[in-house]
A and B are shown apart, each in its own frame.
Chain A
């Protein structure tokens, strides 16, 4: 695991359905895990640096907005779209690169960001 790995808690309504969405629709590796307090959860390895704990309960350091780093935003966009993911924002240009956005079925927002260094030759 990368030393700069980030961990987030993300709340979902139903763990099994959520696990299926993250694994099958988003194609992210998932594994069942136990969260503090013997709570059942699912660990999702969203990208090389982002790990998500899916949980049915509220956690203090919980988020509903996650930025996923991408090497090629258009490729990720097309791959996810063909798996049935509905995008809230199609790929568009920001000052830091190319970005697209979608939500999971529970309203958690994901932003795919391909950072581009426009100053490098």
Chain B
């Protein structure tokens, strides 16, 4: 293990655990016996789970089930700020059972299992999850010690995740037109691989064939089922990612427009500017200026 930069580990009496680190270079091989959610606040963290490689960017987070080991690597010129939240077994099972007992059907038939198994992949880091985790991080950065408050944030983090899981997995399963539940689950798992691959390689020149190969689907099958589940094509999904990540770079870095165009995988600045304006109703430079003010 190699570390440079800032790191703190907060371990609570109920075995909830938070690790925050800002570093340019690190390699971890982690025995993971707890449900863990991994966030990145700037830069990217490369992960490997079950022989699958993907990258966590600030607009996504990764979920790792209890018992799944993972490797991660950071290699960057500017520091990458990672933030990882692990839930103690009792804390997690108490939460899971309290939700199983409620009428909210966020669990997709997971009620009976004491240790649910989530799709270990990338999920969008937006909305309440982002607000709550940002608050938790700000408080811990300032030295928060109050375990009751940290646990409250972590409780809400799980609550937010279950809602995201419902939206990203349970509701998407319903949109797939296969009759058998098992087929729908298998296809959604493969579509998740497709999304994960696009998200991790968004700035490369990726082809539909490569995405389909990663997802173990034929190109036609991928196109049809992707659209069915997510209502956009893989290409549209890629463009949205590139534009949103470009927007973030415009907002948070001093890179020139041409540099950003290259960083997010566009070949030609003029098509980037046109797409950006069509999507956000503002040109990239005007957007950057508005953010500076």
Q: What residues of chain A have their CB less than 8 Å away from a CB belonging to chain B?
A: 72, 74-75, 77-79, 81-82, 91, 93, 98, 114, 116, 118, 121
Residue contact B156 to A74, C-beta cutoff 8 Å: yes
**In B118-167, which residues have CB < 8 Å from any A CB?**
126-128, 131-132, 135, 139, 146, 148-149, 152-153, 156
Supposing A121-B244, A121-B251 touch, asked if A78 and B149 sit within 8 A by C-beta, the answer is: yes
Nearest to B244 among chain A residues (CB) is A121
- Residue B224, interface by CB 8 Å: no
Interface of B is mostly: helix
Residue contact A78 to B152, C-beta cutoff 8 Å: yes
Chain B, interface size category, equals 10 to 19
Which residues of chain A are near B132, meaning CB under 8 Å?
A: 74
Q: Which listed residue (A74, A79, A82, A118) contacts B135, Cβ 8 A?
A: A74
Q: Which listed residue (A75, A81, A93, A98) contacts B139, Cβ 8 A?
A: A75
Nearest to A79 among chain B residues (CB) is B149
Bound complex: CA A78 to CA B151 (Å):
10
Which residues of chain A are near B152, meaning CB under 8 Å?
A: 74, 77-78, 91
- Residue B248, interface by CB 8 Å: yes
- Residue B247, interface by CB 8 Å: yes
Query: Whole-angstrom distance from the CB of A81 to the nearest CB of chain B?
Result: 8
Which residues of chain A are near B247, meaning CB under 8 Å?
A: 121
Query: Whole-angstrom distance from the CB of A113 to the nearest CB of chain B?
Result: 13
